[in-house]
Amino acid sequence: MSRTDDLTDPEVIDRPYEYFGRLRETEPVYWNETWGGWIVTRYKDVRRCLQDDEHLSVEVEADRLRNSSLEIPRTKQMFPKWIIYLDPPDHTKLRRIIGEAFNPEMVANQRAEVEEVTQSLIDDMREQSPGEVELIEEFAHPLPVHVICKIMGLPLADGENLGDWSKNIGLTLFHYYDAENRHQRTEESIREFTDYLREVVKRREANPKDDLITYLLEAEADGETLTEDEVVATAVLLLFAGHETTTKLIANGTLELLRHPEQMEMLREDPSLAPKAVEEILRYQGTSKSLTRGVVKDFELRGKQIEAGERILLSQAAANRDPRKFDDPETFDITRGSMDHLGFGHGTHHCLGAPLARLETRVAFPALVKAFPDMELTTDEIEWTRSPLVRGPEELHIDI
């Protein structure tokens, strides 16, 4: 086994841009025997595959878990109901419903709430100043948790449980290979999460409110409504995705701004750069490193024959730094403003929560750098999330 072909190897986890970048330049469509599938790394090819619903499938990836020998019945029942594991036409119906809930008007209506929560969290951190804070615990995590709880109509007091359940679900969804008892922890959290949400759904059925769970119960697409199981499964996914990935994005972005003080100063002096800064963070150090697909129909890519039954890993990390697409791609430049990156995916499964994540980070970054102009990292040593699919620091200690 080649050490560098192990996607869980610390060298690959800590420095993914080196490993996947090397493949992009030498073998852009590469069979990784250790992982047991193809790795695609060039922007043009990754983008093409992300929009290819004829040859590639997400349902196959869910089937891989469902047909495994793992004794995790709740997980096997839940994951295949998620929109991220549905191909058209099932995906299309659910996307119409969820997409309407995250329309531009709904997202824009959350701005005042996001600004208020952001300022409140900053004020709490100021009480510790001067001193060290762990930014994920104090800011990057509670901000999106507060926002998604409000949208879903859930008590903020439940946020700690929701966060713990979501983190444990991520252990299996994002393949945290070295996490102890990860499948069992996912199973237990899905059980508790679904039991909790079923009670919420029952209350909304009896007493509807102006929140997302009520909307999911009442929404229709082509005359069809969601079943209770679909509402619960969708609510679990939205709560999980609504804060877990945004937490990492806030942490990643803050880290890069701290590593590039001239860029941080530009944002501090001109907060209107925030939208461009967010897009550059998504390109340069996004949360999602890779996406997987199952092959359902033979096709050819760069002279390689890709066969039905095989797997493909699409490297957003490599594609977003492809010099064929981006000028000077290894430079972090918040004035770049390119929205052609693949940080939120592309095609049928482009991230539904992208507008909300953009809003939260466009508010968070300028507020943070303005409030703490002298903040700096307390260490250059970063422990990265032990996942081949997502990227973010486990902790981010800063001196404010």
- Which residues are 242's β-sheet partners? none
Tell me the mean pLDDT in the region 55-70. Answer: 92
Structure tokens at 189: 């959290």
Quick one: 280 exposed, middle or buried, by C-beta within 10 A (0-12, 13-18, 19+)?
A: buried
Residue 19 CA from chain centroid, whole number: 21
What percent of the chain has a predicted confidence (pLDDT) above 90? 83
Pairing of strands 29-32, 376-377: unpaired
Task: Give the pLDDT band of residue 178 (cuts 50, 70, 90).
Answer: confident
Q: What are phi and psi of 242, to 5 degrees?
A: -70, -15
User: Which residue type occupies 32?
Assistant: N
Quick one: 155 exposed, middle or buried, by C-beta within 10 A (0-12, 13-18, 19+)?
A: exposed
Measured at the CA of 133, the angle between CA 286 and CA 392, to 5 degrees, comes to 20
- Which residues are 377's β-sheet partners? 398
Tell me the mean pLDDT in the region 337-366. Answer: 95
Structure tokens at 254: 């803050």
The pLDDT score that the predictor gives to residue 186 is: 95
pLDDT tens for each residue of 222-237:
788 888 999 999 999 9
Q: Does residue 137 sit in helix, strand or coil?
A: helix
What percent of the chain has a predicted confidence (pLDDT) above 70? 99
Residue 395: which of 160, 132, 10, 16 has the closest Cα? Answer: 132
Mean pLDDT score across all residues of the chain:
94
Q: Of the given ranges (99-108, 150-159, 189-198, 276-285), which has the lowest mean pLDDT?
A: 99-108
The pLDDT score that the predictor gives to residue 397 is: 96
The pLDDT score that the predictor gives to residue 2 is: 45
Task: Give the pLDDT band of residue 347 (cuts 50, 70, 90).
Answer: very high
pLDDT tens for each residue of 247-270:
999 999 999 999 999 999 999 999
Cα atoms in the Cβ-side hemisphere of radius 13 Å centred on 292: 20
pLDDT tens for each residue of 88-139:
999 998 998 888 888 888 888 999 999 999 999 999 999 876 789 999 999 9
Residue 182 CA from chain centroid, whole number: 19
The pLDDT score that the predictor gives to residue 3 is: 52
pLDDT tens for each residue of 281-311:
999 999 999 999 999 999 999 999 999 999 9
Specify the higher pLDDT residue, 220 or 207. Answer: 207
Q: What are phi and psi of 371, to 5 degrees?
A: -70, -35
Task: Give the pLDDT band of residue 1 (cuts 50, 70, 90).
Answer: very low
Which element (helix H / strand E) includes 17? Answer: helix 16-26
DSSP string, 25-48: HH-SEEEETTTTEEEE-SHHHHHH
Output the 3-class SS for 62-74.
HHHHHCCCCCCHH
pTM score, two decimals? 0.95
Structure tokens at 225: 């409504």
Measured at the CA of 98, the angle between CA 92 and CA 99, to 5 degrees, comes to 80
Residue in this structure with the two tokens 């695609």, named with its chain if needed: 40
The pLDDT score that the predictor gives to residue 301 is: 98
